[in-house]
Structure 1
């Protein structure tokens, strides 16, 4: 396809955000329905809570401190679970024992993007599955290294880089940039770096936005898209 029949979608997300997992599934559906547009996906970092210590925190304690009661937590999970089920997600919130700091996961996603778009997409999907369906600790370097291997990355390189500060500043700079752009919640879908679709919108809404931006780009009228 020509460049004018393609657009880039930057997905600003955090791998411990359940709405981001739902948004990823809905984006997949939207892409499948827009067959005449070539869509390139890039995953961008965001941290819901950068104050979590590097070793993580007991998730039950963390959620209780954040939401105040077990009943409130159950209500939140009960609202999300059927939405996930509709998208083929089997949320297993009770299996998640650790609330991780996701900085290292975002570093890994950044490295995956340098390997290739497909590799990055596979990695992000695997990280979502590990956290929400298998209860894995995404702050654990062993978990991250194995996810990298499964996605097609060189696990030995990842294993060497994770204990270092490689790309820590770069990831934090990207997160700060998102904040300056006014992104305060995720997921956020940035089409052609200009037009934002906020939240885990349904697949039809995402597909419509993609078609509008692609059509405007093809006509050289991208600046006039609302």
Structure 2
């Protein structure tokens, strides 16, 4: 049975993200004569594509990592099944087999059915959630790499999520959360915002394309997520 390649998932994400950044640069250069408004719209579109790409990547990587080494997943499922049989169904221990899971490996379809039953991607919003997923389901080098990532190192993914929510939902709560996150000292300097005014829906285009920082934040976000994905490499 061929197993998934978590490092291959990383390679695919990094190549696609690099290509997307190159595309945005070409588009931005072409839009200069049309003014900042159109360029900011293009930067926002590129950002939303990046946000979706990251969410798909992290979900795909987790599934691939579990499929690559299913030892912890099988042990966890075995424990859950034993507990259900004994405590929920009330079966005597003497009636149970020593092993209720009859396979030594879970294929990709089985891993997805366990971790992502609704096929909506595995949602990892914070570093603590990555740590929890790693502790429950990942094994070997994949668990080690995921659990080694700190909250500060995971911050770019958090920034992407909250700005995505602000742009997609445009709710007061989402906009407030995004403003709070980008002002925190725990946010990397390249992504931090220290302006006096809070950023509204239209303000995120200015944030992404700001010339007040050495690298436009839209480019920095691409680079930061590539670097974060590399931390997961086994």
Shared fold by TM > 0.5?
no
User: Which protein has the bigger helix share?
Assistant: 2
Q: Which has the higher Rg, Structure 1 or Structure 2?
A: 2
| RCO higher in structure (CA 8 A, sep ≥6) | 1
Q: TM-score, normalised by structure 1?
A: 0.27
User: Which protein has the bigger strand share?
Assistant: 1
